[in-house]
Amino acid sequence: MASLYADAVLSELQPAKVSFFSVKAGESFKTLQTVETMYSAFVKFGLDRKSVVLALGGGVVGDMAGFAASTYMRGIQFAQAPTTLLSQVDASVGGKLGVDFMGAKNLIGVFCQPAFVYINTSTLRTLPPEQFSSGMAEVIKHGLALDADYLNSLKAAKEKIKAMEPQALKEAIEGSCRIKSNIVAQDERETGIRELLNFGHTSGHAVESLSGFALPHGHAVAIGMVAAMSLSASRGLIAESEIEDACQLLSYFGLPLKADASPDKVFEMMRLDKKSKGGEIHAVLLEKIGKAFTCVPSKDELFLAIGRICG
């Protein structure tokens, strides 16, 4: 990724004094060891409290470089330049930073807001298609869980978004950032309403883990949203036709609706998830399209919903 955009960014930042450091790509490098290499580079470059770290890359780089900056010298300024759709609409918004530890995702980290986020949508043109669709799952999630008007605007512009027309992309990304930042502003540290952003993530995380992380995150979230919607429908909150409608949009962007996993295993994995409290599985359901709420569904309800996404 650095080979694609680093030169352009470096020349854009001239004549400021800029130093450049790159890390290996991928979740497996989202570790304290990589952060340590960042600290070493900061020392070598002579960064001080007036320096700014710019994280250029996907969510892995953003979470990790932001964490390194906000802990170096008790915190220096950092900015994000996210280059994947997922990081533009999700990871770069909200100030959650950190690394994985002992096999647990994002176990070590801090909350700290960037000085600014710079999004250049043209970087999405070099993204592998499955990374683009993965980001689209979070975009659609924002509409389904929090804003029906936004969801309708996505449906209306779906061809243009898929074709990556700049204006359509800009509007979709801006809308998502607005929805997420509005929630974060009310609950920065996830003690309440921010949980709604986990719509699709309860069973989503389970199928993602069961695939051995072969399933891209957003693909797992798409499947999780189908389960959450079907649970909502079983309570008579939303109509089957609304699920069909949402599924059509997910499929249009190449997202799966089913996982290759057994219902028992998905349930067990959900129970083990760190977000399940005292063995209770907390789910995010839809009161209606565009309005989510949290609850603790019964085991029967969960099995009914999981059944729909397995096989």
Ligand X SMILES: NC(=O)c1ccc[n+]([C@@H]2O[C@H](COP(=O)([O-])OP(=O)(O)OC[C@H]3O[C@@H](n4cnc5c(N)ncnc54)[C@H](O)[C@@H]3O)[C@@H](O)[C@H]2O)c1
The one among 40, 126, 182, 251 contacting ligand X by CB under 6 A:
126
As measured in angstroms, the least distance from the Cβ of 131 to ligand X is 5
Quote the DSSP letter at residue 286: E
Q: What angle do CA 180, 182, 184 make, to 5 degrees?
A: 70
Structure tokens, 225: 């949203």
96 is catalytic: yes
Candidates 201, 208, 219, 308; catalytic one: 201
The one among 7, 27, 264, 268 contacting ligand X by CB under 6 A:
27
171 is catalytic: no
Our CA dihedral for 257, 174, 123, 12, rounded to 10 degrees, sits at -160
DSSP letters along 36-72, please?
HHHHHHHHHHT--TT-EEEEEESHHHHHHHHHHHHHG
Candidates 174, 188, 190, 242; catalytic one: 190
Cα separation, 109 vs 101, whole angstroms: 10
Cα separation, 259 vs 47, whole angstroms: 47
Contact segment (CB under 6 A) with ligand X among 37-45, 56-64, 204-212, 253-261 equals 56-64
205 is catalytic: yes
Structure tokens, 35: 């952060």
Candidates 30, 142, 205, 308; catalytic one: 205
The one among 131, 176, 198, 209 contacting ligand X by CB under 6 A:
131
26 contributes a contact to ligand X by CB under 6 A: yes
* Per-residue CA distances from 154 to 210, 228, 246, 276 (Å): 30, 20, 11, 32
Contact segment (CB under 6 A) with ligand X among 8-16, 23-31, 203-211, 240-248 equals 23-31
As measured in angstroms, the least distance from the Cβ of 99 to ligand X is 9
288 is catalytic: no
As measured in angstroms, the least distance from the Cβ of 109 to ligand X is 8
Q: Which lies closer to ligand X via its Cβ, residue 131 or residue 176?
A: 131
Give the amino acid at 271: R
Note the Cα 185 to chain centre separation in Å.
17
180 is catalytic: yes
The one among 54, 59, 207, 259 contacting ligand X by CB under 6 A:
59
* Per-residue CA distances from 40 to 48, 69, 101 (Å): 13, 12, 20
277 is catalytic: no
282 is catalytic: no
Helix (H/G/I), strand (E/B), else coil: 80: strand
217 is catalytic: yes
Q: How many beta carbons lie within 10 A of that of residue 193, not counting itself?
A: 17
Q: Per-residue string for binding with ligand X, 78-97, x by CB under 6 A? A: -----xx-xx--xx--x-x-
CA nearest to 221, candidates 249, 165, 259 = 259
138 is catalytic: yes
Residues designated as active site: 74, 96, 138, 180, 190, 194, 198, 201, 205, 217
Residues at the site binding ligand X, with contacts judged by CB under 6 A: 1, 4, 25-27, 30, 57-61, 63, 83-84, 86-87, 90-91, 94, 96, 105-106, 123, 126-127, 131
